[in-house]
Amino acid sequence: MELNEFQQARLSRDPRFDGVFYVAVKTTGIFCRPICPANAPKEQNVEYFQTANEALVSGYRPCLRCRPESAPFSPAWNGTQTTVQRALNIIHEQGFHDLKLSELAERLGITDRYLRKLFVEKLGVSPKHYVQHQQVLFAKSLLHQTHMPIQDVAFASGFNNVRRFNDSFKKITTKTPSEVRKHPVSDAPIRLQLNYQPPFDWQHWHDFVDFRKIEGMEHVGSSSYGRTFYWPSDSGYIKGRFNAVHRPDKQGFNVSIVIDDAKQLYSVVQKIRQVFDLNANVGVINKALQSSGISEHNLSAGIRIPSCWSVFEAGVRAILGQQVSVKAATNLLNQLVEQLGDKEVVNGIEYRWFPTPQQLAKSRLLFLKIPEARKQTLIRLAKFCIDNPDTDPEQWLELKGIGPWTVEYAKMRGQSNTDIWLDTDLGIKKALDIFPLIEPAKASPWRTYLTFNMWNML
């Protein structure tokens, strides 16, 4: 962005730039989101940063009014297949507990020294400082929005003890956790507001998911979505569920979360963000789609990737969807969850959980009226995921019964991969017959949004 773009976005409080940059005020030592409702400072007193980390490192404190920690995370280069992006994905998916930077570098196939160099170059901070800042910013969000005790906030933010948490928090924000806390401690459910850059095409997201929902596992309302989930932990899996209410007036979702272990809260929140694709940089994506040949009339501005909770779930959905209608596949999924998934009644409501790979692998799937070959494909996938919990869907091609379409679909809805182009899909072929001038290659690395947009144009 050019300086005049920063200035215009700040003065107009343009929500499309929320999370793209931050405004630091030299006279107060505070940094804000560009949508902050406070009186706009004079330009000579302003400094701009592309990330909250850079503002923190430069000595600025986060604003208590607009709460920069709540801004959507969407830097301009987000979505490209860079080493830094891969590192951030691992950090945010794994969370902060037991995170070793040496192991992170090894997973990326680079040295610790080169990893530090890349982080400083792209984010302005070392990996260690980046993680610490994310911990503190997440803790600040919990202190501001929830009723959680400080000890629980510390553990949920990845700190092993409260003393270290207090020291780090005060060092970065200049305030103690007690001074930032807004609500009294209670047993109230965890409630957070998760923001995005508008526009958000809620109707498209809602309709896509509603047509494929699994009863008891997913709850879809006119302006809300909730579901149950498992999350890996030291003891195997923990259970949880969430409900999110869309608030377009706040450019976000009000989310309530129930989880067995608060230590996993950060990773779960990031996964919820992925489910709704809240980190999408809409402006960048729309430009790419228009460059591919989609007219402004046919462009579904704010279209998002409706993600499944896990790659395994996305793979099962794809396999059951082979050569049958969406409605038929959804019926099969409901049978699968009904027969194999855990159930729990809470306040008179029955909740169901999607089967784990272990639960599916133990079954012969006799209740499913599908070819035996397809049943065996499901069982092979489950066993493979048990042996390879961090599996890449590309590896599934080694399994009999799984082809490129299934893998691409799992990457699209299980990993929220932004650059999936389902050129073998019948719907896409039909759309290209109607709109032959569209050039998919020009939409890269955002071809997943092109895929959904093309389906939407039929």
- Give per-residue pLDDT as tens, 3-56: 888 899 999 999 988 988 999 999 999 999 999 999 999 999 999 998 888 898
Residue 316 pLDDT exceeds 80: yes
pTM, to two decimals: 0.90
State the architecture of 311-414 in CATH terms.
Orthogonal Bundle (1.10)
Residue 98 pLDDT exceeds 90: no
Domain boundaries, the chain: 3-70, 83-180, 189-261, 282-301+418-458, 311-414
State the pLDDT at residue 76: 44
- Domain at 189-261: CATH code: 3.30.310.20
Rounded Cα distance, 55 and 443, in Å: 32
State the pLDDT at residue 80: 47
415's CB contacts (< 8 A; 6+ apart) are 311, 314, 393
Q: Which CATH class is domain 3-70?
A: alpha beta
Rounded Cα distance, 348 and 48, in Å: 51
Structure tokens at 437: 């001038």
Structure tokens at 59: 């000595």
Q: What are 387-442's pLDDT values in tens digits?
A: 998 888 999 999 999 999 999 999 999 999 999 999 889 899 999 999 999 999 99
**Nearest-CA neighbor of 159 among 266, 83, 43?**
266
Q: What are 270-297's pLDDT values in tens digits?
A: 999 999 999 998 888 999 999 999 998 9
CB atoms within 10 A of CB 292: 20
Q: What is the mean pLDDT of the chain?
A: 92
160's CB contacts (< 8 A; 6+ apart) are none
Q: What are 228-262's pLDDT values in tens digits?
A: 999 988 778 899 999 999 999 999 999 999 998 88
Q: What are 62-91's pLDDT values in tens digits?
A: 998 899 988 887 554 444 457 888 888 888
Q: How confident is the model at residue 95 (pLDDT cuts 50, 70, 90)?
A: confident
Beta strands 61-62 and 30-32: pairing type?
A: parallel
CATH superfamily of 83-180: Homeodomain-like (1.10.10.60)
State the pLDDT at residue 188: 86
Rounded Cα distance, 158 and 130, in Å: 13
272: left (phi over 0), alpha (psi -120 to 50) or beta: alpha
